Amino acid sequence: MFIPLKDLNPRRTYPVVNTTLIVLNFVVFIYELMLPPQLFKIFMTVNAMVPARIPVWLAGHMTFGAAFLPIVTSMFLHAGWLHILGNMLFLWIFGDNVEDYFGHLGYLFFYFLSGIAAGLLHIIFNLHSSVPALGASGAISGVMGAYAVLYPRAKVLTLVLIFLVPIPAIFILGYWFVLQFLEGVSSLGGMTTGGVAWWAHIGGFIFGSLLTLAIKRR
C-alpha cells in the first residue's frame, strides 16, 4: 500500500485555478452535507451523471441540458469525506505543475475537457445504467495523464507502509492507470451497481495524456 503525499517538482507561478477548483469542490461538498435528506436526494439526482438519460434523450423524452449538463455538474459532487479528500489530494499534488505548463486559462479548459471526455467514455461503457456517477476523478485523471507526459521523472514523496519514499511520477501514475484499466476490463459485461467509475478514470487519463502529448509536440 502506498499513498502519494507531495511532488518534489517546483512551480513557477501560484496555481490560482487549481486552488480555486479545490475550494469549489469543498464548498459544494459542505453544501451537500447541509441539505435536508429530501433536498439532498433531489440535488444529487438532478446534478449527478446518469448514463441512461442519454438513450432517453435520443428517444426525444428528455432535453439535451437535462441529459448532458450533469456531465459537468457531477464533477463537483462527492459521496463522502474519503471520496473528496482522496480526489483533492491528487489534484493538489499534480494540478499545480500542469497549470504551470498550460497557463491559468488553458488549464481551466483542459480540466473541464478532461472531465467531459471521462464522462462520455463512462457513458459509452454504461449506456443503460441508471446508477448516478459523480466526482472530480475523471477530470483529475486527465491532469494525472498530463503530468505523466510532462514530468515523468519528477519525484513524488510517497508513504510506503510507514516509510516516506521519493518515487518517479511515471511509476506512481503508470501503476495507478494499470489498476484502473484492469478493473475497467474486469467490469465489462457486469451489471453496474455503484462504486468506482473505472472507465471515467481511464478515459480522463488517456484524453489528458494524448492532448498534452499533441500540444507538447507542437
The predicted-structure confidence for 64-75, as pLDDT tens digits, reads as follows 999 999 999 999
CATH number at residue 68: 1.20.1540.10
The predicted-structure confidence for 72-104, as pLDDT tens digits, reads as follows 999 999 999 999 999 999 999 999 999 999 999
Average pLDDT over every residue of 142-156: 96
Residue 193 reports pLDDT greater than 80:
no
Chain centroid to CA 214: 21
In terms of residue numbers, what domain contains 165?
A: 2-217
Average pLDDT over every residue of 9-32: 95
**Cell numbers of 164, please?**
516516506
Residue 39 reports pLDDT greater than 80:
yes
Query: Contact 113/31 with Cβ under 8 angstroms?
Result: no
- Structurally, the chain folds into a number of domains equal to 1
